[in-house]
Structure formats: C-alpha cells, structure tokens
Structure 1
Amino acid sequence: MTRRTLVRGAMLSGLGLLAACGTRPKPSIEDTETYGSFEAMYGPLPNERFPLPAVDLRKIDRRFLRQEVRYPTSEKVGTLVVDTSNYYLYLIQENGRAIRYGVGLGRAGFEWSGRAIVARKAIWPTWTPPTEMIERQPELEKWSWQNGGMPPGPSNPLGARALYIYQDGRDTLYRLHGTAEVWSIGKAVSSGCVRLLNQDIIDLHRRVPNQTPIVVI
C-alpha cells in the first residue's frame, strides 16, 4: 500500500467521522435509489387530467428533490412535519427514517404553526383567493368563492393536488399544494402556503390519508 493510498484513506475516514457528528446526516446514494433515479421520479405524467411535463431538474437544488433520509423524531409514523426554517416537509417512516420533500413557502406558509390534521384532499382542486388577497389584487375578484373560484388546470395556483389543514374542526386556511414553478422550491415567495412540485404533491397525496396529523414548526 502506497503512502498516497494511506493518506487518501485517512481523509475519507475523517470525512466519515464528520458526517457522523451531524444530527441530520445528508442522504446517501442508497437513499435516493430507493425511489429510482430523480429523472424517473420527475418525468412527465401524460395520464393526468391535465398532462404534466417533466420537471426541469436544472432549475432546482438537488437537496430539495424527494428522497428518503434519516430523521430521528418522537412523532408517530405517518405524521407530516413541515420545517419552515429549512424548506422541508417530512413524512415520518419507521426506524428513524422519513421521506423528505423540498417546499416553497408563501406568506401564509409562515403565518401558522402548531398541530392539526389533514381534513380533506383534492385532485386538481379549485382555487379561491382569500378576501385579503382580493383586497390587495382586485382583479382576483372573478375567482372569489361567490363566483365559484378558479377552475382546475395548469394555471391554477394549487396545482395538481391539495391537502387542506384543519385544527379543532376549523379550516386553518393552511394548504399543502402543487406548483409548476420549479424555481420557487426552497424559497420564500410572495403568496400561498406550502408548495411542492406537482410530481411531489401527487406522490404525497397518495401516501397520506385524511386525518393524518401534521406539525408545522
């Protein structure tokens, strides 16, 4: 064994020790391969009611793509955890693992925190702007609840799916929903709640039943 090989081995061992010190290690290659390649996960969905194109992965930081990670927590398996500080949503799995999704956060996404449940889910939902938004943008009046809201479709702000969050039987107006605006994941945007890539919200929608607990921190 050459001296160069020994030095390289020592460097790799040191990196391993550093990684072990982190409280939430980055996922390994094996983690991401659990769901196949990112290209497959974010490919086109031609069979949707409104066919979706593939996600342009050049427009998003790789760490915000869906992957299984180590996530020790006292929350029960199946719980959703929205980490607003780091722009992540976790779906808690067994054995200290979680499926992690990158999210974008609008103003409403920062305004509420606490514990609640997913009270209902929608496929290609209608969007109704809140009164406060209509006051700021009067042109949205045509989509008010009195007018039936904005019909589903590619331009609808809620995207392909929506999860509606209720607390003590009341609508918090907090939503997890889809978006085609790839650039907005991992960022604070002007409006909305918690947005996921359309391919991710479709995946989450099928995994999460009504009455699923959610924690927003």
Structure 2
Amino acid sequence: MSPVSRPAAHTRQPGPPFDAPAARRLRVALGMTPAHVAQGLRTSYALAHATPDLVNAWERGALTPAHAELTALAGVLWCSPAELIGPPRTLREHRVARGLAPEDVARAVGHEFLAYTRMEESGQWRGTDRQSAVLAELLGLTLPDLVTVTGREGELADLLRAAVGTRWQAYVKPVARIVPLERRLLEDALQELHRDYQGRMVATLSWGGGSAAGAAGDTGEDFLDAIVEHFWTSLRKRTA
C-alpha cells in the first residue's frame, strides 16, 4: 500500500470521532470500491489528495477524516455526516462533539491553554476533583466517560480484576477514589462481580482437564477482559 499523503489543512485539526465500520458498510451497500469513493471525492468535492489508499485507511481506522473530508465522504456515500460519526472516546473527541474550542474548555476548567492541550494529546487529565466536575458538566460526560477521558480506566480495570480475585471488600475505597459514588452501591457492584467471576472459576475447576475446562477458563479470561464494562453494567442496574 502506498503512503497516504494529505494536505496540512486536513491533518492539523482532526475531525470528529469516525465510525469506520459504518463507512465501509455504506460503501459496500452501494456496490462501490475504495477507488470509486476516491474518484467521487476528487471529482465532486475537489479533494485532489483522495486515493483508494486513503479511503482504505479511513475504513481500517488508521486515519480519521477531517471535517471537510467527512462531509465530502458522506456526500459520496449518500448519507448524512451524522451516520459516519461514532461515539466520542477521547477528551478531544468529546470537546469536538460539543463544538467547543480548546481555549474555551481550558478557561472554563481553570487550566492554562497549553497545559490543557497537552492533556488532550497525552490522554492524561491532571485536574482536581472540582475541575473534573466542571469538565463533566461542560462536555456532558457520564461517569464512565469521565473515567475514560481522564485516563483512569486502566487503573480502574486493575483494581476490579484484583477485587474479583481476592477479598473485594479491600477494594471499595480505592475504587471510590476513581468512581465517587455511594459506598453501598460500590459494595454491591463489587460483590456481584466477585460472585460472578468466582462462579466461573469454580465451573472451570469442576470440569477438570480437557477442552471443556479450557473453554471455561477462556470464559473467565473474557470476563476479566471486559471487567470495566461489567462494572458499569452492574452500577446501571442499581441506579436505573
């Protein structure tokens, strides 16, 4: 595959979160190849840099279309731009989705502009609890969103994995430092996760050796891989 070259105007400011699978699905449904899409971008939207390799890079998630590119791609695929926008994942994507400039967010939360932009680039939030609360309100972040964009999801996952494998009670306070909710809610969620995981491990042992035990063990690993998602699901059941 040839290197993808794009004008600086299309790389300096990345666009909104992009739903790469949706773009590929829409293209295939129209019976188009990446070459057809690239030709449409060049001839109908004056994107001279559009090539099949660029379209493939978008669909693989290797590159994200800039705003102008996404609008043009939607035109070629006969859809609205909203159909190509995925859910925000990073701090920058949440800000872009709200239509806010970085300087506006920096001012609102009380950070220097350069310090804030470094946080967006690194994915590591350095704000206080008060600043985090302002950020969540400004960007309309749910608690799971806030944990993710502040770069603490990995830390939470490590705590949850430890909690389900040992005494979950010892992890209530550490989890509460990341997820500031009522203690009883956290206790109930951790207890449920612990019970579910231990049940899977007991099932693994009861099978003994062989392929069935391996499958049961894989189920336990899958549970640990998605531990944060299981945690949020457990909390949602209790706060619905």
Q: TM-score, normalised by structure 2?
A: 0.24
Q: TM-score, normalised by structure 1?
A: 0.26
The higher relative CO (CA closer than 8 Å, separation ≥ 6) is in 1
Rg comparison, structure with higher value? 2
Going by fraction, where is strand more abundant, 1 or 2? 1
